[in-house]
Structure 1
Amino acid sequence: MGETELPPSWQQLNSLAIHPDRVSQLSPAALAYLGDAVYELYVRTQFLFPPKRSHAYHQQVVAQVRAEAQSSHLQLLLPHLTSVELDATRRGRNAANGRPRRLDPEVYQQATSFETLIGYLYITNPPRLAELLALLQFDSTPAP
């Protein structure tokens, strides 16, 4: 499987994709909502091996889907994004509101931008999403 080729399970999910003409009807918040779910599923698949207890899976996944980690992931991806992808992240940043108290507003905006990008690419260009996700590095050391 090539670096930008989708795994079979993701190819099946792509058959559910929304027609690109309808994407403009979606709010950045809707794209971030979708992106959050897609990203968490992706991260969960990254930690399946070696097999471990559910609690260990949970700790590793939560560490990667936290806003702080998503903000860092966005910073890593920014140099690789096209102008259209940067526009999607800008829309997500501008739509971010109502952050949790524990978070810096900028971190929350960047995390929302990241989720918006993931949601946008999931429904418009899944191979590109796979290419960008492949750039992310995850710490695979077992959780305590």
Structure 2
Amino acid sequence: MKKSVDPSLLNGLALAYLGDAIYELRVREHLIQQGQTKPNVLHTQATTYVSAKAQARLIEALLEGNFLTAGEVDIFKRGRNAKSYSKAKNTDAQTYSYSTGFEAVMGYLHLTGQTQRLEELVSWCTGKIEEEKQEGAS
């Protein structure tokens, strides 16, 4: 028998733990659908989407653009404010906490079955990263 968990009662780090995997899976699917097939290229490209710095930039843009619902902002804050016992790798504490908040939103949307909304945000995020890449290439 599958045990049911109420996503609204989970702490921000638990939501982020799942959200990290969900977002990375969606990014990997996106890259493969774009025609990428070489594992080393896939990995390198995926890191531009899933790094803490990229996720922090994305959540800041989502917040500034008022793209998140009030409930999603609350989940972001729960993840951002969670006390992590691991240290940020290759980034500062604020970037790491924003990234954790971003991942918490992804995890929450997945756990609550809001697949369409999750896909909408992931699509927006991948488009934003691609836009940044294009601007960097010009």
Per the alignment, residue 63 of structure 1 pairs with 48
State the TM-score, normalizing by the size of structure 1.
Answer: 0.77
Q: Report the structure, 1 or 2, having the larger helix content.
A: 2
Matched residue type, 2:91: L
Shift of 1:35: 0.1
Shift of 1:58: 0.7
CA RMSD in angstroms comes to 2.2
- Equivalent runs, 1:28-107 vs 2, <5 Å: 28-48=12-32, 49-78=34-63, 79-97=66-84, 98-100=86-88, 102-107=90-95
Q: Which of 123, 130, 135 is equivalent to 1:139?
A: 130
1:22-80 per-residue CA deviation (whole Å, 9 max, x = no partner) reads 11332211100000000000100111132331110110012211100010111122211
Give runs of ≥4 in structure 1 deviating > 2 Å.
96-102, 138-141
Shift of 1:129: 1.2
SS at match of 1:81: coil
Matched residue type, 2:17: Y
Q: Which runs of 5+ in 1 are unaligned?
A: 1-15
1-structure distance, mates of 2:36, 2:44: 14
**Could you say if the C-alpha distance between residues 52 and 77 of structure 1 is closer, same or farther in structure 2, counting changes exceeding 3 Å?**
same
1:127 aligns with 2:112: no
Shift of 1:131: 1.6
Q: Count residues in correspondence.
A: 124
State the TM-score, normalizing by the size of structure 2.
Answer: 0.80
1:93-138 per-residue CA deviation (whole Å, 9 max, x = no partner) reads 1104233253111100100000000000111122111122221223
SS at match of 1:68: helix
